[in-house]
């Protein structure tokens, strides 16, 4: 099957070449042959040169610096024909169109050009489809080419069927590429440059897992029985388990998932499609791409995985300890008696693009007031507006959780005549206690007349 460079395999091959993997590893990862990869490289190089890109820039864009590029550019400059060996010469086609567009009918023009009737109709159909794809109205194209309405309708119906088939094939190719993404990642994760002994050992264990004996497995591999015995001894006569794909890392993305994200991005999938294929949330994919894109907007999965591992290391260095410039800025503002909230807001306004120079107020407070805090000298505690040297918990410093009433009667135990509010002389009382039980106030209200009394224990007045 003829594979185009804009297919899923072509996109994967060219992306691997741009990352510097080489022709053979890139073709192996894309699942194509080496000659197919060379054809795609030549097509992309010639397309870049046709757009006016220099040879050096085209090489850098492809990631291919072989001497073949010079030959491709020389053939392009000479003008090596790319037409099929059975195709009609270019001069004959030009003669036909000059006569036909000059006013002659198709029969006279094709006889003068020395071509057959079917060739002339094929050229006219191709010109019709080209003009229609360019946006020209069907009636104008029919008048220009002087063709009948029935033939024009037949060509237009064929064009629509071809477009519909192309759309369906493109959708099927996209679905197939998304399904094959996991296999492509598996090929990328396979070890490279394995020796013959390693491949023979892998095949040996595959046969042993099928229930074969050592003698039969060695006979199928074409080796001596002692070779299989030595392989078993290296594994202490234990058959290793077949390598399986590990479960998802749960909260964190794995290298396998990051490679699949990069592959699906090259294929033009959206974030929601990638999230559906990985079984993740679309916000997870968006955060991953926002964090690990480089300055050119590219997502490199290996670099992203390395940076993520470094960020998950524990214990982490304190932000004010690891960044001397940030620590100096915070200490300078604390020395001027700025509050941590003011410092945090000032840093965001002054350095809007440098997130490494941002710090939240809680980080400054913990560095100063929490025992064992790092990053700031304790002498800056006196610059805070509270003047404290240690943070005090509001709940742990209280003597209790408020006042309690001893020997109280529950409200559901009151007599029935009180609940009806028909008899005067029954009062309701409430006690309001201030912060830290430093003050209190009692209120009394008669249930029938709603007469109220307020008692201040401190002033002893009614």
Please compute Rg for the chain using Cα positions: 41
> Count of CB atoms within 10 A of residue 153's CB?
12
Q: What is the pLDDT of residue 388?
A: 78
- The whole-number mean pLDDT for each consecutive block of 10 residues of the chain, a chain of 462 residues, reads 74 84 84 87 88 87 85 73 62 88 88 88 90 90 89 91 85 74 73 71 84 86 87 78 53 88 86 89 92 86 88 82 92 92 94 91 90 84 84 58 67 81 86 80 89 74 42
Q: What is the pLDDT of residue 439?
A: 82
CA-CA distance, 57 to 265, in Å (whole number)?
Answer: 24
Could you give phi then psi for residue 429, rounded to 5 degrees?
-120, 150
Tens of pLDDT, residue by residue over 392-420, are: 765 555 555 555 667 777 777 888 888 88
CA-CA distance, 300 to 307, in Å (whole number)?
Answer: 11
> Count of CB atoms within 10 A of residue 9's CB?
21
- Whole-angstrom CA distances from 389 to 19, 122, 166, 283, 365 are 54, 91, 73, 41, 10
Q: What is the pLDDT of residue 338?
A: 93
Question: Which residues are 432's β-sheet partners?
Answer: 441
């Amino acid at each position: 099957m003829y594979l185009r460079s804009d297919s899923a395999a072509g996109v994967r091959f060219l992306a691997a070449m741009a990352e510097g993997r080489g022709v053979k590893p890139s073709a192996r990862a894309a699942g194509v042959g080496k000659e197919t990869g060379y054809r795609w490289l030549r097509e992309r190089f010639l397309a870049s040169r046709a757009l006016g890109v220099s040879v050096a820039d085209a090489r850098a864009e492809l990631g291919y610096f072989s001497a073949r590029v010079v030959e491709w550019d020389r053939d392009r400059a000479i003008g090596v024909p790319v037409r099929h060996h059975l195709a009609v010469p270019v001069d004959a086609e030009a003669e036909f169109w000059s006569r036909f567009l000059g006013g002659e009918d198709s029969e006279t023009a094709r006889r003068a050009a020395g071509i057959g009737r079917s060739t002339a109709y094929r050229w006219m159909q191709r010109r019709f489809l080209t003009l229609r794809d360019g946006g020209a109205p069907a009636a104008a194209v029919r008048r220009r080419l002087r063709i009948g309405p029935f033939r024009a309708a037949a060509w237009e119906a064929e064009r629509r069927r071809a477009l519909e088939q192309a759309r369906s094939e493109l959708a099927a190719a996209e679905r197939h590429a998304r399904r094959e993404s996991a296999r492509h990642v598996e090929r990328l994760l396979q070890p490279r440059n394995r020796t013959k002994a390693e491949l023979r050992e892998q095949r040996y264990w595959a046969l042993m897992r099928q229930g074969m004996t050592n003698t039969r497995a060695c006979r199928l591999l074409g080796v001596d029985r002692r070779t299989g015995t030595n392989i078993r001894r290296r594994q202490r006569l234990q058959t290793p388990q077949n390598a399986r794909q590990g479960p998802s890392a749960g909260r964190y993305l794995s290298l396998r998932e990051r490679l699949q994200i990069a592959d699906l991005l090259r294929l033009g999938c959206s974030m929601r499609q990638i999230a559906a294929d990985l079984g993740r949330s679309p916000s997870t994919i968006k955060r991953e791409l926002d964090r690990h894109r480089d300055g050119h907007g590219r997502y490199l999965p290996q670099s992203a995985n390395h940076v993520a591992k470094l960020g998950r290391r524990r214990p982490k260095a304190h932000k004010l300890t690891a960044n001397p410039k940030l620590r100096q800025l915070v200490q300078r503002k604390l020395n001027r008696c700025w509050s941590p909230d003011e410092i945090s807001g000032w840093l965001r306004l002054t350095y809007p693009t440098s997130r490494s120079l941002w710090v939240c107020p809680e980080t400054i407070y913990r560095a100063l007031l929490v025992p064992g805090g790092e990053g700031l000298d304790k002498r800056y505690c006196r610059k805070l507006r509270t003047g404290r040297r240690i943070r005090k918990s509001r709940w742990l410093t209280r003597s209790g959780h408020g006042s309690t009433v001893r020997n109280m009667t529950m409200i559901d135990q009151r007599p029935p005549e009180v609940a009806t509010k028909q008899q005067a002389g029954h009062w309701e009382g409430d006690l309001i206690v201030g912060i830290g039980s430093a003050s209190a106030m009692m209120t009394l209200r008669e249930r029938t007349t709603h007469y109220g009394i307020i008692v201040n224990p401190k002033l002893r007045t009614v």
